[in-house]
Each structure stands twice: as C-alpha cells, then as structure tokens.
Structure 1
Amino acid sequence: MSNYTPTKFATALLLSVLLAACGGNDAPAPETPAAEAAGTAVEPTTAEPALDAVEGEPALADAPGGDPAPADPGAPAAAMPADAAGLVAGRDYEEIPGGKPLEPLNGKIEVVEVFNYVCPACAAFQPLVNSWKARLPADVRFTYVPAAFGPRWDPYVRAYYAAEAMGIAERTHDAVFNALHIERTLKGERGEDSPAEIGAFYAKHGVDAKQFASTMASFAVDSKYNRAKQFIVRSQANSTPTMIVNGKYRIKGTSFENMLENTSAMIARVRAQGSAAE
C-alpha cells in the first residue's frame, strides 16, 4: 500500500492538476479548474461525456438551442423556497424524472457516487468522501458507480468491478487514484493502460495479474458495466463526481464540501419522509 495521508494526497494532487494544466500532454486529463480541486466555490464537474443511448433507457440530450430572452433588470429576483431540510430545488439538487435506485432499497437510503479513477476532480474529492462516508449512519448504503466517459475511462470501469469481484476494491480504491494522479505509474488520460498493465498494478495488492486481467473481460464484469451505464444515463449524470440519493435526487453544490453537506441534508429529508423502504 502507498504511504500517504489524505492531507498529503490532496495537496500533491492539487499541484499535479495545476502542472498538468500547463504540461501540454498529448492526451491531457479532462480540464478541472484549480479552484475546484481546492474545494472552493465552483460547480464540481469534470467531463462532459457523450453517452450512447442504452436500450430501454433515455439518452442524454443537449440543452435546447437559442439565446435566452433578456431579463428585465427592474424585476425583483424570484424567491427560492427551501424545504424543511433547508434544500432548494434547482440550487442544491435536481429531481430526476423517472429516477430509480441502482439496487432495491430494502429499508436503506442509497447514496451513489458516479466517478472514475481517471477523473482528476474525483481524485480531489476522494479524501473528503472518505471522511464523510465514515460517519454515515447504518441506514445509508454508499455505492461507487464508475462511469465510462471516454475510451481511456472504460478500462477503469472494468478494473473497479474486477477488484470488487476479487474482494479488493475497498483496499485498493485510494491506491488507484494515487497511481494515476500522484505517482503516475498508471497513465489514464496521458496514454492507454492495457488490461495487463492494470492487472500488474493490482497484483501489488495480493491478486494474480493474469486472473485480474481476465476478470476485467468476464461476463460478470460486462453485466455490471452495462448496469452502471444504464443507471448513469437514466440519472442524467453527465459529469463526475456526481452524488445521487435513492436514484431520485442528483445533488448539486458550490464546492465539494457543500455538495456533501447537501447530500447529508437530502439523506435527512428522505429519512424524515420515510421513503427509504420503497
């Protein structure tokens, strides 16, 4: 395992993102504002993917074209009503039409993070997620859902599910971010990591490299890959990281910290409404 702390990780990651933005790599990582990586008041998004439509699921659509009508400068600003949890629709979250959870809730409140290891913003977000999810109550189920938002993201969707199938996802999660964004022993957007190279990395964490690469191409991983894609399209999660509660609420925020605060508030609201048992 790599020897680093969350604080050192975040600091080093910020430096690497700043350097990468000026580095002129042939295949640069998705652009991430430096302020976002530091957790300041910006919209926490990374990539704008073009997901193919999945059979039986709606495709993501571009926003309608045309210039908006000019606002009347003399008109008063419309009030944005907050609910009992202090959340404002459109500002703090968006309700997902026809949204469904990834898994049956079975009395739990589901929180999904749509992410990918290649995403620099996800790497900056991860230390905050680690601290936040460690304090989640027992009625909350937290699940990572990896997104294939580009050809070099795809292998890491398969790598996550292969690691999960082989029982090492939890202990290797932070290490993969570190290898891609700090140590740069894996290439991510800077090149192309083959299944054999990815398998060799995971072999350092107690599995057979060839078996890992084979598992990445297995039917079980294909099934989870397709299910993840369906969930992401259905949830209209078109950037990473994205937090989704019960498949119904896509959380927004002015910073990574604020996004987690809003996720906590939505958990409290769902619990108060008694909708965890749906």
Structure 2
Amino acid sequence: MPRPPPRPAMLRRLLLLCLCALLPLSALAQAPVEGTDYVRIADGARWKPAPGTVEVVEIFAYPCGHCDQFRPMLAAWKRGAGKDVRLHHLPAAYDPGNAYARAYFALEALGRAAELHPRLFDAIHREGSLPARGASTGEMVAFLAAEGLDPERVAAAMASPATDEKMNAARAFAVRSGLQGTPTLIINGKYRVQARTLRDSLRIADALIAMERAIPR
C-alpha cells in the first residue's frame, strides 16, 4: 500500500534538518554574549599593533596553577588558530619588582622566551626548582643560568630601562583591560574574555576572532 505524501509541516522540518546538516559547526555554535562571555574594553588598544592580524594577548602569572594548566591548551589552540592570529604572552606586572615578570621580559630581550617560557612553569609547578611565590631576582638569574644563559646578561636584562618600560606598559594594559585574574585572554585590545572554564575561554576567543575578521578593513 503506498505511503501518503509528506505533510507540508513535515517537509519544512525535513528541509530545515538538511540545511543544518550542511552548515559548518562554527555557524551552529552559540554566539558569545557581551557581559557574560566577554567584556568590551572602553578605549582599548592592542599590545603590539600589526596590520592585517588579530591579536590575542594571554595575561598570565608563572605561579598561577590555572596558567600552568592553560599553557599546553593554548599552545595547541594556537597551532590551528590561523596565520593571521598573533598570540602574545604578557605577565601580570602590578608589582614593578616582580621577578617572574621581569624574567619573562628578559627572556624576550635575549631571544629565548619561546624556548624557556615553558621551563619556568615546569620549574615552579613540577620540579620545585623555583619557589611558587616571592622568587627573588637572584633565584631567577640562577635558574636561567642553569638553563645555559649568561647570568650577567640575564641580570642586566631584568634590571634594564627597557624592562622597566615593559613592566609599566604591561601594568597599564592590564588595568585598562580590567584584569580580574589569570589567565585572561584579550582580543585585539577590545574584548576581555570571561569564561567558566579554560576550554570555554578558547571557544569564546574563536568567536571573537571571527567577529574581528568580519569587520570590513
């Protein structure tokens, strides 16, 4: 016995299901909600402006356990984020004498940040070869010397006027962004990500990056 033809309402539902199946997963993802998933930064500015790129700044602190957990997740995310995405790590530098933050800027000046940034996390959170809080300049210099750096160059870089300027700029960036904790992602200097989980912060960052890419240049 032949089946009756589909009703119009059923046809509409089937068509909708077929269209949804053709959409990319990103189009079906929930759009980020301002005030819940992110905060728009008034008069925001990028950390290191570069034309044709979307800037993602991770504000972190070496003693922060969540930052330690986030580090490999962020590194994996960056590999698939797109060639136009520029990721910068920025230490939370509220205290001008913070030896952890000064060590990071010294590593940048010496061209060794990419290599030794993960090692500082390991030293604090897995090896115990650096204190989890209140590390001195001498302790940071000794650790980096053990990693093969010239201790005099490290000490000079940590104390340099250039590092002083970066510490001041990092503090101003954090204050302007309304930093409430670490790790925090800042997109193009315009949006501060707010997330319930570390993984969710990356989802929100992806959505905000897509918003920025859609803006006519």
Q: What range describes the TM-score normalised by the shorter chain of this pair?
A: 0.7 to 0.9
Name the aligned partner's letter for residue 176 of structure 1: L
Counterpart of 1:231? Answer: 173
Structure 1 vs Structure 2: percent identity of aligned residues?
A: 41
Does 1:164 pair with 2:108?
yes
- C-alpha distance in 2 between matches for 1:143 and 1:155: 19
TM-superposed CA distance for 1:245, in Å, is 0.3
TM-superposed CA distance for 1:193, in Å, is 2.2
TM-score by length of 2: 0.82
Higher helix share: 2
The DSSP-based 3-state class of the residue aligned with 2:42 is coil
- C-alpha distance in 2 between matches for 1:125 and 1:236: 20
Name the aligned partner's letter for residue 195 of structure 2: G
Greater Rg, structure 1 or structure 2? Answer: 2
TM-score by length of 1: 0.64
Name the aligned partner's letter for residue 74 of structure 2: V
Counterpart of 2:188? Answer: 246
- Post-superposition Cα deviations, 1:98-154, rounded to whole Å, max 9, x if no partner, equal 1111122312111000101111111111111111112221111111110125688x1
TM-superposed CA distance for 1:240, in Å, is 0.6
TM-superposed CA distance for 1:237, in Å, is 1.1
Counterpart of 2:59? Answer: 114
Name the aligned partner's letter for residue 103 of structure 2: A
TM-superposed CA distance for 1:252, in Å, is 1.4
2:203 pairs with one of 261, 264, 273: 261
Q: How many residues align?
A: 189
Counterpart of 1:182? Answer: 126
TM-superposed CA distance for 1:180, in Å, is 0.7
1:97 pairs with one of 26, 39, 42: 42
Q: Is the 8 A contact 2:94 2:171 kept in 1?
A: no
Structure 2 residue ranges without an equivalent (≥5): 1-28
Counterpart of 2:69? Answer: 124
The DSSP-based 3-state class of the residue aligned with 1:273 is coil
TM-superposed CA distance for 1:183, in Å, is 0.7
Counterpart of 2:148? Answer: 206
Counterpart of 1:10? Answer: none
Structure 1 residue ranges without an equivalent (≥5): 1-83
TM-superposed CA distance for 1:162, in Å, is 0.1
